[in-house]
Structures are given as structure tokens and as C-alpha cells.
Chains A and B, each alone.
Chain A
């Protein structure tokens, strides 16, 4: 199975400051169609996950532009340009290229 490793697992942040989460995969995530199926999700306590980013860097509709995704190969990053209070929660990366699909362990972001 493809192992997704996130770091850090806990991220204290300051409002208005940038934040960054790393996600590394144990195998490359380029699918035969040329796409890289790496997504980022945000989950607040007691809520369902919400997808923020798909195919490495494409923001979902309604996701603030302070969120950005980047990376290639096996190394990916989620960045928040200026953290807001509503950004607290747990962030997960997920690979959708190989079977079985796998998630990172999660990064808990707190103010």
C-alpha cells in the first residue's frame, strides 16, 4: 500500500500568520492518464471532512484563496497564507492514484 506521511502532526498557529503542512507518499502518484490524484481535506470536530484541494493544486469551489496546494512526485504541501480562526481542525492528505486509497495520519491545527 502507498503510505502517506504528514508532518507535522500538530501545528500551533498564530492568527494572520502563514502555515504549511507536508505530505510525502511512498510511491509516485502520477496516474496513467497523466494526472496526480493528491487531495487535501479539512475536518472540524464533529463534522464530516471537506475537500479543499484536488489534483495537487486545484481549489474546490468556495475554498478561500488563502489555501494553496503544490508539489509533485512524492512530495506535496498545503499552505495557508494567513491563518484565520475557522481554519482550526485536522487536515488530511489522500492519494487517489493507487489501490487501496490511503490517507495521511492527519495534522491538527490549533491556535
Chain B
């Protein structure tokens, strides 16, 4: 059974950093592109970033470009999102999801709160 387990969220001060992880199981991780999608409190879904199966291609939303870095370790079946220079408007639940054209499996989400 395909599963995605998000972790790494927490409270961080503006300007700080955080690294999110997503542990995948139940499928051949390296053959799928993976995405991060976020949802601010009470708001809709916002796509953040995607990485190809081999890690060679990455895309970012303009709102996070230059501050966030997506990566993956196919030997460990883990997806990462390194978040630097965090701002209050980055506060959200962050979901990892399998695929990029219409993600079919989603993690449970991890809450990131940026506040002093």
C-alpha cells in the first residue's frame, strides 16, 4: 500500500530555516516525480515545488523561488524540502504528494508556523 509520511514541521522565527521530510513506502519511489503542496490556515491549496524521479529537474512557485530547495534521496525513499528565509506568509500545512500532473497520493501534512 502506497504511503507518504510528512514530518519536520514546527514553530520557527521569521528569517529562520526548517527542513521537511516525506518518507515514501509501498511503491518504487525513484520512478515518480514528487511534489510539495501547502495550505495556509483556512485557505486553499497552493502548489510549491516538484522534483523529477531522478532528481534532475526541479520547479518552484515564484513565491518560494530562491528560498526553498526540493531534493530527494532515492536510496532512502525520502523527499525533502529545505525552507530558508522563512516569512509569516509561509505558515501553512505542507503536504508531500506523488506525481505532478495530478498527484494521486498525499501525505498527512506537517504544520509550519512562522512567528516571533
Contacts and interface: CB of A to CB of B under 8 A. Distances in A.
A54 B45 contact: no
Contacts, number: 56
A49 B106 contact: yes
Nearest to A101: B47
Contacts of A94: 45, 47, 102
Given A94-B45, A101-B50, A106-B45, A51 B103 contact: yes
A103 B44 contact: yes
Nearest to A99: B59
Interface in A91-111: 92, 94, 96-97, 99-106
B100 interface: yes
A102 B59 CA distance: 13
A54 B95 contact: no
A100 B44 contact: no
B73 interface: no
A17 interface: no
